[in-house]
Amino acid sequence: MSVGVVSQIASARPAIDQAAAPWRRVSLLTIGGTVLAGILIPWLLVRLPIGDYLVTLLILFFMQAVIAQSWNLIMGYGGIYSFAQVALFAVGGWTAAVLVSSLGWNPFVAVLFSPVIAVVAAVGIGLPTLRLRGVYVVLMTLAFHELARVFAVTGPRFISGGGYGLVNVPTFQFGNVIGEQRTIYLYYLAMVIFAIASFVIWRVIHSPLGMAVTALRDSETYAVSRGINQLRVRLILFAISAFFTGLAGGYMTHYNGGISTSVFDFPILIDLLAMIVIGGWGTFGGPILGAAIIIALDQYLVAIGDYRALFEGLIIAGIAVFAPQGMWPLIRNAYDRYLGPEPPARPTPESQRGGVPS
């Protein structure tokens, strides 16, 4: 045993830690800076003439990003082509709306129940669906989407509101705060939801669970033969995804003051799909980036009206075929080059063998 071997083992250890704790790859400075910027931005924006509007756009961005991220979790990482995302969003939204409008609960309390009911719904959808593969999943989840729509339109009056959805639900109230101040509080609430969702989804992706679903996606036979319980793993992932989707649904209901049956319209599903595909399918930051791109572009594309869907469709198809990784790798590479900490040294063949004494 020489000193060299010991030092080799010691130098190998941080590499293992890094793989287990991926958050160490992001420097504290970046996280702190982002959080600080997130807190300060609304105060700066409201000084602009259209600042109020910009803050509401940011709120919209946070929520769309949460939904897109949780969809990407099952679609991109899990390889489960679930189109029930909007249905789960609606379940969350309707839960909050019914609790407030029929039972007279406080919106803040009602929102806490949205994710719970959404998870219950996800387990209900997932049990028959997640055993199946590919196309079957597409169809079954579309079926649930359609069933949810029909139920929302023709269901009992306290749910359907006469066919239009519950369009007159109390909004969030922060005491007597109104105007810009209220928008800022709403912004903080959305930001907290976004931050929690992003963090949890990030942790899930890098957890053994995330590994298991990615393995299932890439080679089901192999993953199952290594002892991964396919249904259980996918069901847990689906539930996590539904949790945040439902939470976003509850928030949006009390933010907009209602939820209408038009959430089931296809353009909404398409926008979400565009976010994932353009941002980067199966990457952590892709959906966030995609949500930002789509919402920003939307402000300009309103003018071109129907052409928007035309281009959106072509862009989705083009990126899916020619650049399946989307836009995220561009950002990722730039970050690694300019902002990220030094990448861990590539393990040499020596250290991989565990420094066998020579």
Partner 1 sequence: MYDTQIVQAVWGGVLFGSVYGLMALGLTLVWGAVRLLNLAHGAIFIVGAYAAYWVVSSLHLPILVALPFGVLAAAVFAYAMHLVFIRPVIGKPGFDNATLVATVGISISVSAAALLIFNPEYKVVPPELTGSYIVAGVQINYQGLLVIGTSLALFAILYLFLTYTRYGMAIRAVSQQMEAASLMTIPVVQTYGLVIAISGGLAGLAGVLLSPLFFLNPQSGFNPMIQALIVTIFGGLGSVRGALVAGFVLGVFESFVEVFYGVAWALPGVFILIIVMLIVRPNGLFGIGEVRRL
Q: Which of 124, 313, 347, 354 binds partner 1 (CB under 8 A)?
A: 313
Residues 6+ apart with CB under 8 A from 82: 71, 74, 75, 129, 137, 141, 238
Q: Which of 5, 81, 185, 230 binds partner 1 (CB under 8 A)?
A: 81
63 is written with which tokens? 């929520």
Radius of gyration for the alpha carbons in the chain, expressed in angstroms and rounded: 23
Residues 111-170 that bind partner 1 (CB under 8 A): 128, 131-132, 134-136, 138-140, 142-144, 146-147, 150, 153-154
Q: Could you say whether residue 315 binds partner 1 (CB under 8 A)? A: yes
Q: How far is the CB of 312 from partner 1 (least distance, A)?
A: 6
Q: Could you say whether residue 320 binds partner 1 (CB under 8 A)? A: yes
List the one residue out of 312, 272, 210 whose CA is nearest residue 66. 272
The span from the CA of 122 to the CA of 222, in Å, is 26
Residues near partner 1 (CB under 8 A), total: 41
- Residue corresponding to tokens 């929302």: 152
Q: Give whichever of 22 and 128 is closer to partner 1, judged by the CB atom.
A: 128
Helix or strand or coil: residue 48?
coil
Q: Which of 324, 334, 345, 354 binds partner 1 (CB under 8 A)?
A: 324
Q: How far is the CB of 307 from partner 1 (least distance, A)?
A: 7
Q: How far is the CB of 75 from partner 1 (least distance, A)?
A: 9
- Percentages helix, strand, coil for the chain (3-state, rounded to 5) are 75, 0, 25
Q: Give whichever of 107 and 287 is closer to partner 1, judged by the CB atom.
A: 287
Helix (H) or strand (E) holding 34: helix 28-45
Q: Specify whether the CB–CB gap between 118 and 95 falls below 8 A.
A: yes
Positions touching partner 1 (CB under 8 A) are 79, 81, 128, 131-132, 134-136, 138-140, 142-144, 146-147, 150, 153-154, 266, 270, 273, 277, 281, 306-318, 320-322, 324
